[in-house]
Amino acid sequence: PDAADCSQREDWSWRICVGANPAYDAFPMQHQIFYPSGKGKSLWYDPVFCVETLDNELIWCKRHYRVTPRRHWSADEAGAPEGASPGAWTLNTLDNGMVSEEKWTTVDAADDLSWAVLHYSGAARRAGQSYVGALLCTPDGEWPADCRSGENLERIRRAFRSCDLELWELFGGTTEKSYMWDDTFTTWKEDNPPPLDRIGDISITSWRAKEREKAFADKQNA
């Protein structure tokens, strides 16, 4: 059969519609880019998101995560075979000199990939900080039109409840509108397209070093 419209190839995997952690999910126009590594069974994850600076300017930011399969705790209780669990991943990155490790789980997803609910928990080791939350991800960043009422809405509600969250606790929008994709941001994006190119098979440390060199060269040429 033909692929569903929302599973057609784009430069991104998902856009974040709403999330449960204002400190983590509140950045506007978040693009999630997942792609396979050329080595082994791991993936790379390159989130691209917008940040408003102290000077009230909008800029694009980017991160680079290594993604490896992991075994979910429920697999042991269910007596599942040894090995990684489908939809369970560990994400690692280096952010501002601190190593962060996050555990991500696919809670539920529509058969046609028109939405997915992802749960995460993580920690920045040296800072002694931990965080937890969940995301509703869609291809365009808007709440799915057929999930604003009825059983489809209840299915998303159940997914978040399994993460100990209610829909009213989510940050970034409602079933009618995702504030992270409002006209203020999307109009700016038209003249400032996001850097959606894949970073590729390069270590997080090496990529960070290249970014510092690029920033220094840009400053010298300014």
| Average pLDDT score over the chain | 87
Beta bridge partners of 48: 31, 62
Q: Are 62 and 194 in contact (CB under 8 A)?
A: no
Give the pLDDT confidence score for residue 5 in this predicted structure: 60
Give the pLDDT confidence score for residue 1 in this predicted structure: 40
pLDDT in tens, 76-95: 766 666 777 888 999 998 77
Give the pLDDT confidence score for residue 206 in this predicted structure: 86
How far apart, in whole angstroms, are the C-alpha atoms of residue 17 and residue 139?
Answer: 9
DSSP state of 140: S
CA torsion angle for 91, 198, 212, 23 (degrees, to 10)? -50
Q: Is the pLDDT of residue 26 over 80?
A: no
Length of the chain: 222
pLDDT in tens, 132-180: 999 999 999 999 999 999 999 999 999 999 999 999 999 888 898 888 8
Give the pLDDT confidence score for residue 6 in this predicted structure: 55
Q: Would you place residue 191 in the very low, low, confident or very high pLDDT band (cuts 50, 70, 90)?
A: very high
How far apart, in whole angstroms, are the C-alpha atoms of residue 140 and residue 182?
Answer: 12
